[in-house]
Amino acid sequence: MSCSASWSALGDAHLHTNNLKTAFNCYNKATALERETLYSLTRQAFALTLLGRYNEAIVLFDKVIDQSPKYILARKGLIILSIILSNDRSALFSQAKVKLIFILLYNK
């Protein structure tokens, strides 16, 4: 397992325990070690979404889709984020909805 993969795995562990800032930092380190890793960039975007940093998440999802147009996880994340933003009634409601959607789609 590469160093990048190790940082991504650690980020996944933190994401699943709702340590969002730490997860984001792990994915950031993984991306710094291997710039073209679509998985880490996508998971970084997920963490940003859960942190409510929607504009930054959109930039990362778009970056992944530009690099690999058929990468389904990035497309799903961007679609979910678009739905959230189009239905945004309150920040608290949106944050709860984001967490529920990601739990339903990405937890095993």
Chain segment 28-46, per-residue pLDDT in tens: 899 888 877 898 999 999 8
Q: What is the mean pLDDT of residues 16-38?
A: 87
Q: How many domains, the chain?
A: 1
Question: What is the pLDDT of the chain when averaged over all its residues?
Answer: 82
Distance CA 52, CA 90 (A): 12
Per the model's pLDDT, the better-predicted residue between 92 and 106 turns out to be 106
Q: Which domain holds residue 51?
A: 3-106
Tens digit of each residue's pLDDT (9 = 90 or more) over 56-76: 999 999 999 999 988 989 988
List the structure tokens of 43.
Answer: 């998971």
CATH number of the domain bearing residue 40: 1.25.40.10
Helix axes 72-86, 38-50, angle to 10 degrees: 20
Torsion of CA 15, 5, 66, 72, to 10 degrees: -60
Percent share of the chain, pLDDT over 70: 78
Instruction: State residue 98's pLDDT score.
Output: 65
DSSP 37: -
